[in-house]
C-alpha cells in the first residue's frame, strides 16, 4: 500500500491500516475481528486476575456470578453495541465464556449458560421461573 497523506488546512493525516479510538480498534477494512481478538485477550487477562476470587469456596454462587457479570464480561463486551457478528465471532465469544465458566463449574447456572453475551451483559432472567 502506498503512503497517502491527506491535508486539511494546516493538518496532515496519514492513512493507516488500523488505529485505536476510545479503546476500540478500527480497521480500514471495517473488520471487527481485530477488535474481538483484543477484547478476548483483555477478557482472558481479567479472568486471570480474578481467578482466585472465582475459585474461592468462601464466596457464594451469586457473588461469583456478579463478579463475572461486572468485571469480566464488560471488559469483553466493551463497544459491542456496534458489532455486527457473524457465526465465527459468536463462536469466538462463546469459547471464552465456556472457558471461564467451565473452569468454575460451581457457579454455572442453567439460566446463565442459556443466555447470549448481550443478554448476560444487559440482564438475563431465568426462563424457568
The reply to whether the predicted model has a pTM over 0.85 is no
Cα separation, 95 vs 90, whole angstroms? 9
Q: Give domain status of residue 10, yes or no.
A: no
pLDDT value at position 45?
93
Kindly report, residue by residue over 15-25, the tens digit of the pLDDT. 888 888 887 77
Q: Give domain status of residue 52, yes or no.
A: yes
Cα separation, 18 vs 26, whole angstroms? 5
Q: Give domain status of residue 8, yes or no.
A: no
Cα separation, 110 vs 63, whole angstroms? 16
Q: Give domain status of residue 30, yes or no.
A: no
Cα separation, 35 vs 83, whole angstroms? 9
What is the extent of the structural domain holding 112?
Answer: 36-122
pLDDT value at position 116?
58
The number of distinct structural domains making up the chain is 1
Amino acid at each position: 500500500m502506498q503512503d497517502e497523506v491527506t491535508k486539511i488546512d494546516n493538518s496532515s493525516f496519514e492513512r493507516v491500516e488500523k488505529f485505536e479510538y476510545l479503546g476500540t480498534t478500527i480497521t480500514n477494512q471495517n473488520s471487527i475481528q481485530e477488535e474481538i481478538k483484543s477484547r478476548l485477550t483483555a477478557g482472558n487477562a481479567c479472568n486471570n486476575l480474578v481467578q482466585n476470587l472465582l475459585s474461592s469456596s468462601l464466596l457464594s454462587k451469586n457473588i461469583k456470578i456478579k463478579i463475572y457479570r461486572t468485571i469480566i464480561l464488560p471488559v469483553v463486551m466493551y463497544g459491542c453495541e456496534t458489532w455486527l457478528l457473524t457465526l465465527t465471532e459468536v463462536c469466538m465469544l462463546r469459547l471464552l465464556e465456556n472457558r471461564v465458566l467451565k473452569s468454575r463449574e460451581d457457579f454455572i447456572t442453567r439460566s446463565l449458560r442459556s443466555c447470549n453475551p448481550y443478554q448476560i451483559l444487559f440482564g438475563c432472567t431465568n426462563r424457568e421461573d
